[in-house]
Amino acid sequence: MEHLYNEKKKGAPVFVLLHGTGGTERDLLPLAELLNPEYNVLSVRGNVQENGMNRYFERHGEGKYDWEDLEFRGNELYEFIVEKSKEHDFKLEDVVFVGFSNGSNIAIQMMLQQPGTFKRAALFAPLYPADVEEKQDFNDVDVFLSLGKGDPIVPEAESDRVINLFEERGADATVTWVNGHSLTQDAAMEAKNWLNG
């Protein structure tokens, strides 16, 4: 998978950056720098194409996921992160997911598929339009959620579903609301305070 790895400080936590639809592995680098300039960075480009745009998994239209593909791609990306953790000598529990939109969604998938593995995530404009039967244990999960009022892609009820998905599993969820489907400077600063507080 197309990616870049920036080592800032040996043994520091590792941001796994996951861009939105149509993005690249460079999109969230300024955000990572703002959140904590000492964290190492693994940024991965989605390897699914939709009308020439990079994504992490296929869908059948806005908000209509190809669940089979999502499961496959979630496992594929997880294996890739495991491989990179061995190559660059970092622990999976030191990973902090930072995702926007489509990137947030694949992060949620990996956290559900690999409970107990990933402890921290800052997810901007996430959507996970399904009721998840399995009650994974997220008691040691700390998550920052930036959600949109009047988001044209993620209805408010779906944002609430994401909050519930984490809280029902015991995660410590810090929630902020922005306008629309966006990653704002204010939300980024709140995420910074959450991460370093």
Active-site residue numbers?
101, 151, 181
Does residue 2 sit in helix, strand or coil?
A: coil
Pairing of strands 40-44, 120-124: unpaired
Tokens of 97: 């997911």
Q: What span, in angstroms and rounded, lies between the C-alpha atoms of 80 and 95?
A: 13
CB atoms under 10 Å from CB of 55, counted, come to: 24
Q: Amino acid identity of 33?
A: E
Radius of gyration of the chain (CA): 15
Q: Which of 159, 153, 144 is nearest to 196 (CA)?
A: 144
Instruction: Please tell me the distance from the alpha carbon of residue 96 to that of residue 19, in angstroms, as a whole number.
Output: 14
